[in-house]
Amino acid sequence: MNIRLEMVRDTDFELLASWFHNPENNKWLISRYNLERYNQIIHTRILKKSDNFFCMVYDLDQPIGFVGLSLIDNLDKTGMIWYILGERSYAGQSVMTIAVNLLLEKAFTDLKLHSIQAIVAEKNAASLRVLEKNNFKRSGIQRESHFIEGGFQNRMCFDILQSEYRGMTHG
């Protein structure tokens, strides 16, 4: 695999929409990015806002996922990370671990951020592993704040400081 990031373009909209509409991806998203409203918010709220930094994840020339920073605060030097593996055939291959690490490199080096936060549903084991492999630290719990599969579950809060970031060797 040869994982790389490229900034999201308007031409990526349809592919992103299909990934966000996939129930296996969508169930983990916070409610403001749910299925019914996704199409209308992707351009206005996600792709076009200046406090966001979003990238497509590629293996060679094939787009396979999405990583991004939202709520970037240039005064406090913070941002919120999120990511989706769009091509399920890549599951279990550490693609998103590598992609998140590449994004952290950009966040701490190019964007000069100091701290990156993440919020993950407690039962989203794959996403929790991505954060842990990238040296994120657990910083709290939002109790019963995510409604999924007929019930409430906790969201786990994580963060990483620039001083805690360690790059990976990508192959």
* Tens digits of residue pLDDT in 85-104: 999 999 999 999 999 999 99
Whether the pLDDT of residue 4 is over 50: the answer is yes
CATH code, domain carrying 102: 3.40.630.30
Judge whether 170 lies within some domain: no
Judge whether 111 lies within some domain: yes
What integer best gives the mean pLDDT of the chain? 86
Reported pTM: 0.87
Q: String of b and e for 96-124 (b: at least 16 CB within 10 Å)? A: bbbbbbbbbeebbeeeebebbbbbbbbeb
Judge whether 32 lies within some domain: yes
- Domain span at residue 158 reads 3-164
Counted domains in the chain: 1
Judge whether 138 lies within some domain: yes
* Tens digits of residue pLDDT in 20-29: 777 676 666 6
Looking at per-residue pLDDT, the higher value among 13 and 108 belongs to 108
Judge whether 171 lies within some domain: no
Judge whether 98 lies within some domain: yes
Average pLDDT value for residue range 142-151:
86
Q: How many angstroms separate the Cα of 15 from the Cα of each of 1, 31, 47, 57?
A: 21, 20, 13, 12
Judge whether 99 lies within some domain: yes
Judge whether 107 lies within some domain: yes
